[in-house]
Amino acid sequence: EMYYVYHEIHRFINQPFTNLLPEALFNMSRFLVLQMMNRTPKYISKSSTLLTLAKQSTNVEAYITARYAYDRLQSLIVPSRLQEFVDIGVLTIRGKPLQDKE
């Protein structure tokens, strides 16, 4: 189940386009983050999952969740090809409201 969900997240990170809605990617990445609190299976990247959660949280205006994901990302070793996205996201999220849309 976790590998099936991660497959979509991996495709989102590595391919320029996706056919999934932002809400679907948000829920998939949120599911994986919650599952990975207990254990992290082999071949599932925490940094890719958290980056997807952060990006999609910003897209659906869930800014509290986005801040949480970016805070967790800053404590991880992120691949160099993704580090620029993390740095820009951290700066961007600071300019957003301290509450969610709802």
pLDDT tens per residue across all 102 residues of the chain: 899 999 999 999 999 898 999 999 999 999 999 999 888 889 999 999 999 999 999 999 999 999 999 999 999 888 888 899 899 999 999 988 888 876
> 74: which residues sit within 8 A by CB, 6+ positions away?
86, 90
pLDDT attached to residue 46: 92
Helical H segments across 1-102, by residue range? 2-14, 22-35, 46-59, 63-74, 80-93
- Taking alpha carbons only, the member of 69, 92, 82, 100 closest to residue 14 is 82
